[in-house]
Amino acid sequence: MTQSLAKHTGSHSRKEAKDIHRVEINYRGIFQKRLGYNISHDIVYAAHSEGKTAFSNGRYSDDPQRNGIPCANFAFVSKSLGEEELEAIASAKMDVDEADLVLVLDDTLAKGLEPWGHYGIRPINQKVVEGSTILFVSRRKPEELKKLLEKKPFKYNLAVLPGDRSFAGLWYYRDDNSDIRFLGAVARIAPQVLDIETVVNYVRNKYKDEKRVEAAKEAFDSVVINEVTPDDGMVWPYEKPVLPAWQDFDEGIVVKSVKRGFKMGPRGQNRNPDFKRGTSKTQRPVVRFDTCIKCTLCWYDCPDECFDPTPDGLFDINYEYCTGCGRCAQVCPVNDCIVMVDELKFDNTKSPWEQYTKNPEQYVRVMEEKKGLTREVPSPVTGKGEQFIELKSSVPFKAKGVK
Amino acid sequence: MAATMKQTKVYDREELASGTDGVAQAVRLADVDVFAAYPIRPYTGVMDRLAKFIADGKFDAEYIIADGEHSQFEIGKHASSVGARAFVGSSGTGWLYAMEALATTATDRLPVVALVGNRALDDPGAFGVEHNDAMLVRDLGWLVVWVSTAQEALDTTLIAYRVAEDPTVLMPCAVAMDGGYLTHSEHIIRVPTKESVSKFLPRYNLGKRVMHPDNPVSIAPQINEDWCMEIRRQNWEAAKRAKEVIYKAYKEFNSVFGSNYTNPFFDEHMTSGAETIVIGMGTVSSAAKVAVNRLREKGEKVGFIKLRWFRPFPTEELRKALSRAKRVAVIDRDFAHGGPDDGGVLYNEVRSVLFDAKNKPKVVDFIAGLGGREISIEDVMEVVSITKKCKADERVHWVGLRERKTGGTHVRMKR
């Protein structure tokens, strides 16, 4: 038996039973692994507590042990189906075709995701269907996030739960009520999955702590819901790859690789076009080329080899490949020379060195505006959360650079 | 006396658990003494969970992280030989790296229990399920059982210890489960109490074979040709005895835990009066059962058998169950290139079972779901439809394969 190629190349949309609510939970590897699991588990437990059938799983091909890589968990809830039927329909696949509710635990995922090589960068709202909702936890307005999504031919909703992304470690979850707030938000936007009464009872029984119940209620009240129409969003450059039939590729598991190559200047190194990994980042390093002392440490230490040497002895960054790990900012010996800045403040991955050389003063001014004066002090695995310091002023522009 | 008998609470609580969580719960409840580990997806979930149990003070065991699967399985074997209840496990290529230790554990007749989180063999490095890894021990003297739900994973791991450690058996047991579909899918299960588990599972006792300074023994010395054949014959006898022990173990499991395992070896779903019976192992069962339900609603006489124990193979039982049908469709989540009729492993096992049957149904093989490819409800319905209409010499079909029907046989990719 042969199935049509369409089945595994994407265009199919199987008629699923109507009474299945598919929740996709998008999170970042390592930093949000526990949070993602807590949310999918809580949805299942809470639904189960009111007699619904529910189960959860993770997207099996993901690598949640890798820094920042986009990952997904799923929760499936049904009022009428039995366990076996629900599983046969919903769990037969490693990924969902469509989701009735998409949760996004980090708003920078709105710029797209590339969890795996050779499949391209896909939009965060790839799985939404007509009438469904995509929910971000974010400090941004729905209108700002809408612009980043893929244009869809139908109406659906974009909801924002006001708040910060919650980051922690691989094995622990920073107990900041983020998981509970998401449950409250789900009750508001998808009462058919969980209503607020169920959430309140579930949280109360689980924690015996009224403050946590309040967190769920607060989230329920503070969600902002905005309609997304076919006019919103952008035409996404993502093309779903067409996978070949067994007769149509080489035997012996041999694939094309990257040709060795190096030239001085931006984009000078040959890199793998089929797996860029840039969507792993929530922050990007911003370089003050004018104060750079050309010590080479950023270029030398970058685990993803994102720095390209330039003819003037500086180091350009290829943001398409930068995973935002922050290593360069850590090793840079110059005060405030490389600073990590929220990825959503940028709308392109153009060479920063080219922008700098074109107009050094303007580049520095624009970058300092994006940086602001708040600096995050890295506090890995202390469990204390982020610490911030406020600068009085930014480092002044050095017109002639550092000799 | 009856008035003073204390009722033991059988189940502690409900919990959301993946297949590997289910196994980890069973390892904790069985009070395993030595857990040897080396990470590989999808088996790793057990490591994570047991480490957490130990960290939380809920479980006390020697947790040994080995330098590779070969050492890991040797540790399990040696622990078992000194009378410690041991648990090991791996997946795909890791399971193969342990192959030498796997063979000796079986020939030394040490009742280690292992989890095989089924994974495609390398290469390519894929995570998805294929049954070839676990099947590689099918002829070595391992007991091999496939589970298809998280609850069954928990239950079967307890049963595995009970059967493996039975003084008349003493064989290692592999609990196999589909990588991804079961190891990483979480369902609500019932977790039994430790008291009820201790009612079902006695302490491990290797008897006079135990290696101890007070009981000096040497295990598996080099022998000459005078001995090997008799040793193999002994092991065959144990494998035959295992079957009765399995029946007994499930009966007692049902009575202690109130479970409903009617036939330990396989589950029959709507096979009564079925003209076509689909048979498969692992998580394909949920899609297959729903497909059978839908076809029955349309009046088609179809049934499904979920095979649980692959070693010992339920020869007589399966012969009886399958020879009632006109057609049997075997779903093989494995491959056996160049084997009889180029069919899968399960297909040829099923065919040989039916060779002596008075009524021989037509047996058709479906290679499906390799490397984690989905097997949907619709796929199983198509399996049934092909089985009903295919010609006698159409024996093996590939399901869910990307195949080009026209053009040349082999077109090279442009470089």
How many Cβ contacts (< 8 angstroms) between chains A and B? 112
Q: Can you tell me the mean pLDDT for B259-267?
A: 97
The yes-or-no verdict on residue B56 having pLDDT over 80 is yes
pLDDT of res. A3: 36
Q: How far B224 CA lies from chain A's nearest CA (Å)? A: 42
Chain B hits for A3, CB-CB cut-off 8 Å, are: 379, 399-402
Q: Which candidate from B128, B286, B402 shows the least CB-CB separation from A5?
A: B402
Number of residues assigned to chain B: 415
Q: Out of A143-147, A223-227, A253-257, which region has the weakest mean confidence (pLDDT)?
A: A253-257
pLDDT of res. A399: 87
Q: Can you tell me the mean pLDDT for A196-207?
A: 98
Q: Can you tell me the mean pLDDT for A294-310?
A: 97
Mean residue pLDDT across chain B: 94
**In chain B, positions 259-288, which contact chain A (CB-CB < 8 Å)?**
283, 286-287
CATH number, domain A278-390: 3.30.70.20
The yes-or-no verdict on residue A379 having pLDDT over 80 is no
pLDDT of res. B7: 66
The string of pLDDT tens digits covering residues A46-74 is: 999 999 999 999 999 898 988 999 999 99
Q: How far A187 CA lies from chain B's nearest CA (Å)? A: 21
- The architecture in CATH of the region B8-257 reads 3-Layer(aba) Sandwich (3.40)
Q: Can you tell me the mean pLDDT for A275-301?
A: 96
Q: Which candidate from B386, B397, B402 shows the least CB-CB separation from A246?
A: B402
ipTM of this complex: 0.92
pLDDT of res. A402: 74
**Contact assignment for A253 to B123 by CB distance below 8 Å:** yes
DSSP B65-81: E-SSHHHHHHHHHHHHH
The yes-or-no verdict on residue B408 having pLDDT over 50 is no
Confidence of residue A173 (pLDDT cuts 50, 70, 90): confident
* pTM of the complete model: 0.93
Confidence of residue A171 (pLDDT cuts 50, 70, 90): confident
Q: Can you tell me the mean pLDDT for B177-199?
A: 96
What burial letters (b/e) apply to A262-297, b meaning 16+ CB within 10 Å?
Answer: eeeebebbebeeeebbbbbbbbbbbbbbbbbebeeb
Strands of A254-325, DSSP E: 283-287, 307-309, 315-317
Q: What is the largest CA-CA distance in chain B?
A: 83
pLDDT of res. A381: 53
Q: Which candidate from A5, A60, A93 shows the least CB-CB separation from B184?
A: A60
What percent of chain A clears pLDDT 90, i.e. is strictly above it? 77
Q: Can you tell me the mean pLDDT for A205-223?
A: 97
Strand pairing report for B362-367 and B396-398: parallel
CATH 3.40.50.920 residue spans of chain B: 266-398
DSSP state of A231: T
Confidence of residue B397 (pLDDT cuts 50, 70, 90): very high
The yes-or-no verdict on residue A16 having pLDDT over 60 is no
pLDDT of res. B105: 98
**Cβ-contact A32, A168 below 8 angstroms:** yes
Q: Out of A136-145, A169-178, A271-280, which region has the weakest mean confidence (pLDDT)?
A: A169-178
pLDDT of res. B415: 32
Chain B hits for A62, CB-CB cut-off 8 Å, are: none
Task: List the one residue out of A90, A100, A159, A161 whose CA is nearest residue A127.
Answer: A100
pLDDT of res. A102: 98
Give me B179's structure tokens: 């990588």
Would you call the peptide bond into B42 cis, given omega within 30 degrees of 0 as the criterion?
yes
Strands of A62-216, DSSP E: 70-78, 99-104, 128-138, 156-162
Q: Which candidate from B128, B188, B382 shows the least CB-CB separation from A1?
A: B382
Confidence of residue A384 (pLDDT cuts 50, 70, 90): low
What residues does each domain of chain A span?
16-228, 278-390
Confidence of residue A240 (pLDDT cuts 50, 70, 90): confident
The yes-or-no verdict on residue B410 having pLDDT over 70 is no
Q: Can you tell me the mean pLDDT for A205-214?
A: 97
pLDDT of res. A11: 31
**In chain B, positions 24-43, which contact chain A (CB-CB < 8 Å)?**
42
pLDDT of res. B106: 97
**In chain B, positions 124-183, which contact chain A (CB-CB < 8 Å)?**
124, 127-128, 179-181
Interface test with B, best of A3, A38, A39, A254 (most B CBs within 10 A): A3
**Contact assignment for B407 to A247 by CB distance below 8 Å:** yes
Touching check for B374 and chain A: CB below 8 Å?
yes
Q: Which of A12-21, A393-402, B99-108 has the highest mean pLDDT?
A: B99-108
Q: Which candidate from B372, B377, B413 shows the least CB-CB separation from A89?
A: B377
Q: Which candidate from A40, A87, A92 shows the least CB-CB separation from B376?
A: A92
pLDDT of res. A237: 80
What burial letters (b/e) apply to B312-351, b meaning 16+ CB within 10 Å?
Answer: bbbeebbbebbbbbebbbbbbbbbbeeeeeebbbbbbbbb
Q: How far A37 CA lies from chain B's nearest CA (Å)? A: 11
Q: Which candidate from B18, B372, B403 shows the least CB-CB separation from A246?
A: B403
Confidence of residue B1 (pLDDT cuts 50, 70, 90): very low
Task: List the one residue out of B116, B158, B142 whose CA is nearest residue B27.
Answer: B158
The string of pLDDT tens digits covering residues B155-165 is: 999 999 999 99
Q: Out of A168-177, A252-261, B20-29, B40-49, which region has the weakest mean confidence (pLDDT)?
A: A168-177
The string of pLDDT tens digits covering residues B108-155 is: 999 999 999 999 999 998 999 999 999 999 999 999 999 999 999 999
Count CB-CB contacts under 10 A for residue B415: 6
pLDDT of res. A382: 52
Chain A hits for B186, CB-CB cut-off 8 Å, are: 40-41, 44, 55-57
pLDDT of res. B411: 41
Touching check for B122 and chain A: CB below 8 Å?
no
The string of pLDDT tens digits covering residues B305-357 is: 999 999 999 999 999 999 999 999 999 999 999 999 999 999 999 999 999 99
pLDDT of res. B2: 45
The yes-or-no verdict on residue B52 having pLDDT over 60 is yes
Q: Whole-angstrom Cα distance, residue A17 to residue A81? A: 9
* Higher per-residue confidence, A19 vs B91: B91
Q: Out of A38-47, B145-154, B251-260, B398-407, which region has the weakest mean confidence (pLDDT)?
A: B398-407
Chain A hits for B372, CB-CB cut-off 8 Å, are: 60, 94
Closest-CA residue of A relative to B366 is: A1
pLDDT of res. A5: 35
What percent of chain B clears pLDDT 70, i.e. is strictly above it? 96
**In chain B, positions 178-197, which contact chain A (CB-CB < 8 Å)?**
179-181, 184-188
The yes-or-no verdict on residue A12 having pLDDT over 60 is no
Q: Can you tell me the mean pLDDT for A366-387?
A: 78
Confidence of residue A378 (pLDDT cuts 50, 70, 90): low
Q: Can you tell me the mean pLDDT for B268-297?
A: 97
Interface test with A, best of B190, B403, B406, B411 (most A CBs within 10 A): B403
**Contact assignment for B402 to A249 by CB distance below 8 Å:** no
pLDDT of res. A393: 94
Closest-CA residue of B relative to A257 is: B415
CATH 3.40.50.970 residue spans of chain B: 8-257
pLDDT of res. A118: 83
pLDDT of res. B385: 97
Burial bucket for residue B291 (CB in 10 Å: 0-12, 13-18, 19+): buried
Interface test with A, best of B54, B130, B187, B401 (most A CBs within 10 A): B187
The yes-or-no verdict on residue A108 having pLDDT over 60 is yes
CATH 3.30.420.40 fits B266-398, yes or no: no
* Higher per-residue confidence, A241 vs A302: A302
**Contact assignment for A247 to B409 by CB distance below 8 Å:** yes
Quickly name the fold that domain A16-228 has.
Answer: Pyruvate-ferredoxin Oxidoreductase; domain 3 (3.40.920)
Touching check for B60 and chain A: CB below 8 Å?
no
The yes-or-no verdict on residue B4 having pLDDT over 90 is no
Touching check for B382 and chain A: CB below 8 Å?
yes
**In chain B, positions 350-369, which contact chain A (CB-CB < 8 Å)?**
366
Burial bucket for residue B379 (CB in 10 Å: 0-12, 13-18, 19+): buried
**Cβ-contact B55, B28 below 8 angstroms:** no
Confidence of residue B288 (pLDDT cuts 50, 70, 90): very high
Q: Can you tell me the mean pLDDT for A203-217?
A: 97
Mean residue pLDDT across chain A: 91
**Cβ-contact B134, B174 below 8 angstroms:** yes
Give me A208's structure tokens: 């015996």
**Cβ-contact A108, A154 below 8 angstroms:** no
